[in-house]
Copies of this chain bind each other. A is one copy, B any other.
Amino acid sequence: MTKNIAETGVARPGQDAVSVVAQGIPTMNEIIGYKLRRAQLFVFQDFIESFSKMKLRPAEFSVLALIARTPGQKQTEIAGQLGIKRANFVALMDGLERRGLAERRKAVGDKRSHSLHLTPEGVRFAQKMSAVWAAHEQRLVDRLGGPEARDTLLALLDRILDLKET
């Protein structure tokens, strides 16, 4: 019995030879986590480029979107919804406040907490922001092959995320 290339694993190194030790070892294409990470990196790349002119990062976008939709929430609430530690949220909010887009107001019933709101300029900013985002999102939908494909993707991602513990 003559050993073939795959068994020796020495010929044409790095070309298309596959070693014997590859038994049961997955290809990168089969790994959900890997594909997920690459796709997320690509999407974020497009997002960041889309917002380079507005100087807005993904985390800042999500904070503004949340405040715009339901103003008056406390810092911990917003941070919690986005999975951001409240310690790390401080600097983020500082930036938005310094840029005059959002502001902290003393919460009425609780002197510890701050309720978050958009400034008038922040409202205008959020409108432009949404338009830029819509173009970005449309680009992704095009790549996916249509709105149905996007819905399918979002539903699958929800299956991974839903029922976190149990």
Copies of this protein in the complex: 2
Q: What separation, in Å, do the CA atoms of A159 and B44 have in the docked complex?
A: 16
Main DSSP-derived SS at the A contact region: helix
B39 touching A161, Cβ below 8 Å: yes
Q: Is the CB of B127 within 8 A of A32?
A: no
Q: Select A39's contact among B17, B36, B83, beta carbons within 8 Å.
A: B36
Is the CB–CB distance between B73 and A160 below 8 Å? no
Q: Known pairs A9-B71, A26-B137, A42-B164. 17 more at Cβ < 8 A?
A: A17-B70, A18-B70, A19-B69, A22-B68, A22-B70, A24-B131, A25-B65, A25-B126, A31-B133, A32-B150, A35-B158, A36-B40, A36-B157, A38-B83, A39-B160, A149-B159, A153-B156
